[in-house]
Structure 1
Amino acid sequence: MSQYSKWYHPYKYDAKYKKKVAYFSMEFAIDQALKIYSGGLGFLAGSHMRSAYELKQNLVGVGILWQYGYYDQTRNMDQSLGAVWTEKNYSFLEDTGIIVDVPIFDNGSVKAKAYALKADTFGSAPIYLLSTDIPENDYLSRTITHRLYEDNELTRVAQSMVLGVGGYKVIEALGGADIYHLNEGHGLPAFTHMYAQAADKKKLKSKCVFTTHTPEKAGNEEHSLELLNKIGFFPTGWKQEEVDWITDKSGKVSYTVAALRLAKKANAVSKIHAKVSKEMWGTFKDTCEIIPITNSQNVSYWADKELNTALEKNNDKALIARKKEMKSELFKIVADQSGKLFDPDVLTIVWARRFAAYKRPDLLLKDFDRFRKLVTNTKRPVQIIWAGKPYPKDYGAIDIFNHLVRVSKEFANCTVLTGYELALSRSLKNGSDIWLNTPRKPREASGTSGMTASMNGSVNLSIQDGWIPEFGKHGVNSYLIPDGTDFNDHPKLDQEDFEGMYKILEKEILPTYYDKPEKWLEVMKNSMRDVVPYFSSHRMADEYYEKLYS
């Protein structure tokens, strides 16, 4: 009998985690070699799967095998952003032999084949990845799983149906699960399909849980009821009054609201985000409870072992030497991409995450004269690196990226790096002194990149949003930009945050780094110590079982 004919783990699960959980996510960042992710949602899912493996949880992942990934970030001739889609092939994935039908449109169905990422390949819980790019489908059906976050709306809905309905059928072929967990609303069709089949809908609800990840509209997918009916989103078994129940007055279906109505419980991804989510979704009738389970990252994957061994042994000399080595390794990438030679002794500031306007990657440049003064100071010099992938159709974010490229050409100590994936993310966290985080509060739900930066001796300079208020102690383990006076007045908020950021840089960070190296080392060590264990994904994965699945 094939191992794929039943629910399978290569390890005996811990009795504490015996419930069978199927975890649906549009993206997983497991390893640099497997390019099926775009950013933070995938990084979080990847760390969750690694901790599930290390804790021996009875959990499997369900995702999509994106044939062309998200996109490969390149440069045009003038160094501006380029986006290329390249076919990906993975010899380490195994064909499970499972092929399921996904009804899309009224007159037919699409076939989806499940491939398995075995647990021992990269040290993660088993993950089943669905592809429609198989000979059994016509050309259009094969393209459904080509690109992550395809901008064609019909294709996006079809992708959700492959993830949700197809993923549910794969799990059923493996023997079913006790809990179905949607990591963001993309897999909503799993719930709608289950709901249509259930004789006891209240009992069904006890098996459904949901994680909401962002207050941003773009991250809370919604589509017109007309389009969803056209594509056959609601399977046979849904009554009109039930369809009306999850449709708002504008004739649209919000995946988030629908998931909150069909789930027994949901979680937000930080304590602040839980408050924001309740304000956003609490006015909708029949939605479930939203609790905070703060996002976290996997320590064994992200934390540099040599650096952390030096910390554990309280060997300051070894810690300083290793951090300098890590900076030098990052600066080889800088030299390769930009032709600029950075100095390991100079304070290095990194802003790196998904490029989006609300994250304000260009806040440092709001007053260009002040920026020029900062980057031309020879007494207390700085080096600045930006990196991140804008959504390829987010032209506003791409304009910001390209503006930073143009500005960086003027300064030998500023650069923009491309190819922001797991490997580059690791190098940036290893090699930075300051991890800069500048979202407009309260729009950053969690922001886990700062956690993995802290694990590697990079000190957060941050807006007090997302996870930061649960961690940060100003001048002790991080530097916290004071809250603005009006979060709804964006021009005023941007100016206040800019002033607060520069005041801390000029009056606290630079004097401490250059004039009080013992104090700087203390802040760095506090940051490394304080981020673990609470912001380890072991804690998060354990809380999911304790608070969400129970």
Structure 2
Amino acid sequence: MPFQFQPYAPAAEFSTQAAYFSMEFALDQALKTYSGGLGFLAGSHMRSAYELKQNLIGIGMLWSYGYYDQGRNEDQTMRADFRLKHYSFLEDTGLVFPITIHGAEVKVKAMYLAPDTFGTAPMFFLTTDIPENDYISRTITHYLYDADTAARVAQSMVLGIGGGKLLDLLGVPMDTYHLNEGHGLPLAFYLYEKHGRSLAEVQKRLVFTTHTPELAGNEEHPMKLLTDMTFFGTVPADEIRRVARVENETLNYTLTALRFSRKANAVSKVHGIVANEMWGHYEGICPIIPITNSQNGTYWRDAELHAALEANDDQALKARKRELKKELFAFVADQTGTLLDPDVLTVVWARRFAGYKRANLILHHFERFAEMVSKQDRPVQVIWAGKPYPKDYGAIGMFNDIIQRTRQFKNCAVLTGYELGLSRLLKTGSDIWLNTPRFPREASGTSGMTAAMNASLSLSIPDGWIPEFVRHGENGFLLPLAELNEPEHVKDDVEAKGVLDVLENEILPLYYDEPAKYLEVAKTAMREVEPEFESHRMATEYYEKMYTA
């Protein structure tokens, strides 16, 4: 029987038909189609779209080997394992269609994730790993963010061109196409061809979210490579140079998306300023407005914690939090052999591992750190977790260095396998959520939102979403910033000192000497993080400010 696309009936206020293109989605622990924050954000967006009954379709990629599985070597350092994934819950649509990559025909198959499976918008996942293709073509969708440049360009083509073509094959009349980051940029050129090579017609339909000021998130490649790869379809390269205003024979994905879209958004108010400073001086770009990222409360909040909060039952809240800490610590003990104490203040640093996020900042003044974690009175426990890109040897070296430097302490642990399941354990089981990026390089940094939902307080550099939420000592804690024009080693030194200062002089005395006051701060964070940083607000803003405006 042919595939019949029959999504739920949308709510009247969300009748505009939109499609959301993302290279990664974190929808469920069982579906390995994400690496970090971009995927977590996209997953929460799809969940809120379902709960609000928005007229939205998700378009993603089916990675045969996922991102990677983070394991351990014999000396406890990390290794990257790649295992083939199989998913019984994805429906084969039977839709297989050709796109052109590097002048050759590559077949793309679409798999379907029904809304009720994980409580998401209807989702399609594209794969080239099928018998109809040769081996090289099959490998395009093997690994998320393949380290090979040509493979990564091909992945963008499968997402953008393949996703656009799939929607046409389904016969869905599309009002708005939403690129979540620049990875799916070839969609712009697919639409350009489809609509008579009219830039204005593409701009009527395309919107764009830019997520990061980091170079890795603003991909660019030589025009010759992209032309050789058939990146622009049948549009001549000279026409692309003219319409996209290409300079120096290099096409920047973000800048081009800003020129082909009618509107774009940054992902926090701070990032809105940074993004406009980065791109605002270029000719022909669309407006960039801030829509702060957020996370889905239904998925992330612990129901018992929130029931206790709503009942104003402090004893029940404290008891539940202690249970959640014990659940996390059982996992820590099983993986590392380190048994932690649920009555001790627990600091967690956990997110995608990248150099600018500075997982090791708290260790910068190491003797002082060692003294702090070795004290018998007002003790503190510290846990790290995160997955570096498998070819980011600097970040992998930092991960392994933290393991080596902290293995002498009985109350420190470094965990592998940071995915949705472990992320939930860490958010619910931590007391303090440590966030130490180099300012202003963290565009949003949403992990602290889901921690706050679960009575875990942010201790953070005031970057990304943090300045919109944290009031120091009232619902979280801010770290002092060094002067922006100082050398990086000076900023690291100053801000590392700030981490230890705030912990030792403010947080630890509050937690141990004034537990009722500490609990009030945690409860305030729980109350205030929603609805402003819950993804129903974000998903609604996208409709109101991007899709229908």
Shorter-chain TM-score tier: over 0.9
1:142 equivalent to 2:138? Answer yes
Contact 1:197 1:237 in 2 (8 A): no
Structure 1: 5+ residue runs without aligned partners?
none
Paired residue for 2:374? 376
Q: How does 1:30-69 map to 2 (within 5 A)?
A: 30-69=27-66
Structure 2 letter corresponding to 1:94 = E
Q: Is the 8 A contact 1:442 1:487 kept in 2?
A: no
2:255 is aligned, of 254, 257, 268, to: 257
Shift of 1:256: 0.3
Who is 2:200 aligned against? 202
Once residues 250 and 514 of structure 1 are traced to their aligned partners in structure 2, the CA distance between those partners, rounded to angstroms, is 59
1:300-319 superposed matches below 5 A: 300-319=298-317
Matches within 5 A, 1:23-34: 23-34=20-31
Mapping of residues 211-290 of structure 1, within 5 Å: 211-238=209-236, 240-246=238-244, 248-290=246-288
Kept in 2, the 8 Å contact 1:104–1:233? The answer is yes
In the alignment, does 2:455 pair up with 1:443?
A: no
In the other structure, the counterpart of 1:153 is 149
1:498 shift after superposition: 1.3
Determine if the alignment matches structure 1 residue 88 to structure 2 residue 89. no
Q: Secondary structure at the match of 2:399?
A: helix
2:318 aligned residue = 320
Q: Does 1:129 align with 2:136?
A: no
* SS in structure 1 of the partner of residue 335 of structure 2: helix
Give yes or no for the alignment of 1:399 onto 2:397.
yes
Report deviation, 1:247. Answer: 5.5
Cα deviations by residue, 1:130-158 (Å, 9 ceiling, x for unpaired)? 01011110111011000000000000000
Amino acid paired to 2:127: S
Greater CA drift, 347-356 or 225-234? 225-234
Structure 1 position 166 matched with structure 2 position 156: no
The range that moved more, 323-332 or 476-485, is 476-485
Task: State the distance in 2 between where 1:230 and 1:115 align.
Answer: 29
User: SS of 1:266's equivalent?
Assistant: strand
Question: Aligned to 1:249, what secondary structure does the other structure show?
Answer: coil
Distance 1:434 1:22 in 2: 37
> Which residue does 2:12 correspond to in 1?
15
Query: Aligned to 2:147, what secondary structure does the other structure show?
Result: coil
CA drift of 1:202 comes to 1.1
1:426 partnered with 2:424: yes
Paired position in structure 2 for 1:364: 362
1:196, distance to aligned residue in structure 2 (A): 2.1
Q: SS state of the match for residue 541, structure 1? A: helix
Aligned counterpart for 2:450 among listed residues 443, 448, 452: 452
Structure 2 contact 325–342 (Cα < 8 Å) conserved? yes
Q: The residue matched to 1:445 in structure 2 has which SS?
A: coil
**Counterpart residue number, 2:516:** 518
1:506-541 Cα distance to aligned partner (Å, 9 max, x none): 110000000000010000000100100000000000
Distance 1:346 1:487 in 2: 38
- The CA deviation string for residues 422-469 of structure 1, in whole angstroms up to 9 with x for no partner, is 000000001000000000110000000000000011000000000000
CA 487–320 in structure 1, closer or farther in 2 if over 3 Å, else same: farther
Q: Quick one: which of 110, 126, 131 aligns to 1:114?
A: 110
Instruction: Answer yes or no: is the 8 Å Cα contact 1:225–1:247 preserved in 2.
Output: no
Corresponding position of 2:472: 474
User: Which structure 1 residue ranges, 4+ long, deviate > 6 Å from structure 2?
Assistant: none
CA contact (8 A) 2:34 2:66 kept: yes
Corresponding residue SS for 1:206: helix
- Provide TM-score, normalisation by structure 2: 0.98
- SS of the residue aligned with 1:112? strand
Bigger shift: residues 486-495 or 252-261:
486-495
C-alpha displacement of 1:238: 4.0
Aligned twin of 2:186: 189
Could you tell me how far apart the structure 1 residues matched to 2:475 and 2:482 are? 22
Could you tell me how far apart the structure 1 residues matched to 2:28 and 2:102 are? 35
Once residues 486 and 204 of structure 1 are traced to their aligned partners in structure 2, the CA distance between those partners, rounded to angstroms, is 39
Per the alignment, in what secondary structure is the counterpart of residue 185 of structure 2? Answer: helix
Shift of 1:67: 0.3
Deviation at 1:239, TM superposition (A): 5.8
1:60-85 residue CA offsets vs partner (Å, 9 max, x unmatched) = 10011000000000001111110000
Q: How far apart, CA to CA, are the structure 2 residues paired with 1:498 and 1:461?
A: 12
Asked if the contact 2:369–2:500 (Cα under 8 Å) also holds between the matched residues in 1, the reply is no
Q: Report the identity percentage.
A: 59
What is the one-letter code of the residue matched to 1:528?
M
| C-alpha distance in 2 between matches for 1:372 and 1:444 | 28
Relative distance call for 1:399 and 1:247 in structure 2 (3 A) is farther
Q: Secondary structure at the match of 1:521?
A: helix
Task: Note if contact 2:240-2:246 (Cα within 8 Å) is conserved in structure 1.
Answer: no
Give the Å deviation of 1:43.
Answer: 0.2
Question: Once the 2 structures are TM-superposed, how far is the Cα of residue 214 of structure 1 from its aligned partner?
Answer: 0.3
Q: Is the 8 A contact 1:163 1:187 kept in 2?
A: yes
Question: CA–CA distance in 2 between the matches of 1:513 and 1:446?
Answer: 28
The aligned residue for residue 490 of structure 1 is 488
Paired letter, 1:132: T
Q: Which amino acid aligns with 2:77?
A: S
Please tell me the residue identity of whatever aligns with 1:114.
A
Q: Deviations over 1:292-350 (max 9, x none)?
A: 00000000000000000100110000000000000000000110011111000000000
CA drift of 1:488 comes to: 5.4
Contact 1:330 1:427 (8 Å CA) reproduced: yes
CA distance in 1, matches of 2:343, 2:202: 59
Distance 2:247 2:137 in 1: 32
Counterparts of 2:154 and 2:3 in 1: how far apart (Å)?
A: 29
Q: Partner residue of 1:411?
A: 409
> Matched residues in 1 for 2:250 and 2:202: separation?
24
**326 and 208 in structure 1: CA distance in 2 versus 1, 3 angstrom threshold:** same
Partners of 2:199 and 2:243 within 8 A in 1: no
Determine the C-alpha separation between the residues in 1 that align with 2:402 and 2:199.
53
> What amino acid does structure 2 have at the position aligned with 1:45?
A
Asked if 2 retains the 8 angstrom alpha-carbon contact of 1:210 and 1:259, the reply is yes
Q: Is the 8 A contact 2:10 2:53 kept in 1?
A: yes
- 8 Å CA contact 2:208, 2:257 repeated in 1: yes
Q: CA deviation at 1:243?
A: 2.4
Are the aligned partners of 1:486 and 1:492 in contact in 2 as well (CA < 8 Å)? no
Do 2:347 and 2:380's aligned partners in 1 also have CA atoms closer than 8 Å? Answer: yes
TM-score by length of 1: 0.98
Contact 2:199–2:260 (CA under 8 A) maintained in structure 1: no
